[in-house]
Amino acid sequence: MSAPVVLVDMDGPLADFDLHFWLRCQEAGYGFDVGHVNDQRHRYFTDHLTDPAEKRAARAMVDAPGWFESLPVVAGAVDGVHAMIAAGWEVWVCTKPLEANPTCRDAKAAWLAEHFGKGFDRRLIITPDKSLVRGDVLLDDAPKPEWFARASWRPVIFDAPFNRDGSEWGHLDRWTWGQPLAQLIPTEGAKP
């Protein structure tokens, strides 16, 4: 049996985009309609900003060079990715570009090398349509349901406050760092 191929989304499972967004907006004094970062119900945290001018300013912050370079690593992600590699899995990072940010692509590659090790930037696949990328599993906090029909991978939701029950991802399998790898890709003879 060939090694499982796991495609890992970047913003969400690896880079803590939403936490960074929340903290930078708090520093700027922007007003949210939720009281805690874990109360996020909308896919895009900007949709929790109440003032249109602050929403525009927050979008400009995300679209500016430097944003992706400064994202913190999600807790458990470095150990988790290296555990996958140690288990013999092929790990590829599969991300959609943020077209509005002019340095997004280079920044994402540099960020992976910095936090996950030299050479890991060569594991980066940037695509607007993840259904075109082959794999056994796509671990993603917000995969587009329209990808599912033609994808070779099985979607597994990386758990986040906005993608739970009641969301369009609530019915799908979910997983997060620290759970056994066998629950993400069951191996033969080993039930999760």
Q: Would residue 39 show up in a list of annotated catalytic residues for this protein?
A: no
Q: Contact between 18 and Mg ion (CB under 5 A)?
A: no
Among 141, 143, 155, 176, binds Mg ion (CB under 5 A): 141
Q: Contact between 16 and Mg ion (CB under 5 A)?
A: no
Q: Contact between 11 and Mg ion (CB under 5 A)?
A: yes
Q: Which range in 50-58, 59-67, 122-130, 136-144 contacts Mg ion by CB under 5 A?
A: 136-144
Q: Which region, left, alpha or beta, applies to residue 6 given φ > 0 means left and ψ of -120 to 50 means alpha? A: beta
**Orientation angle between helical segments 52-63 and 17-28, nearest 10 degrees:** 130
Q: Which is nearer to Mg ion, 54 or 69 (CB)?
A: 69
| Closest alpha carbon to 58 in 105, 91, 24, 86 | 24
Q: Would residue 9 show up in a list of annotated catalytic residues for this protein?
A: yes
Q: Which is nearer to Mg ion, 12 or 80 (CB)?
A: 12
Q: Which range in 34-42, 70-78, 135-143, 145-153 contacts Mg ion by CB under 5 A?
A: 135-143
Instruction: Dig out the tokens for 116 from the structure.
Output: 């996950």
Looking only at the bridges linking them, the beta strands covering 5-8 and 137-140 are parallel
Q: Contact between 136 and Mg ion (CB under 5 A)?
A: no
Q: How far is CA 13 from CA 2, 8, 110, in A?
A: 25, 7, 17
State the catalytic residues.
Answer: 9, 11
Site residues, Mg ion (CB under 5 A): 9, 11-12, 141
